[in-house]
Amino acid sequence: MIQVELGLYQAAQLQCSFRGFPDTIQWKHHGVVLDELSSGEGYHYMWRRELQEDDGIVISHLDIQSLYRADLGWYTCSGKNSFGEHSATIELQSKS
């Protein structure tokens, strides 16, 4: 698990990367899926996917426009394809 400390009301960007071209990528906050319906321009969360073709890596970014106390805690990014699944967890903490 990776721990990240940020000040409240700052923008945050979390990212994870995958090899093997996952068919699906999913972000969760405390186990609750942050789906595309609750993300996008004008929303608090926005996530996107980026392909770096030179080295075959897919990067997923989760952007938080302004960090509130409710945003603190564990985020899990998982990717899955026909060969398997990989996930990583990030703990977002507030600077004191």
pTM for the predicted model, two decimal places: 0.83
Name 61's Cβ contacts closer than 8 Å, sequence gap at least 6: 13, 14, 15, 47, 48, 49, 50
Q: Which domains, and CATH codes, for the chain?
A: 2-94 (2.60.40.10)
Task: Report pLDDT for 65.
Answer: 85
pLDDT tens for the chain, residues 1 to 96: 889 999 999 999 999 999 888 888 999 999 988 875 455 455 577 878 888 767 778 999 988 888 889 889 999 999 999 999 999 999 999 986
Look-up of token digits 């980026």 = 50
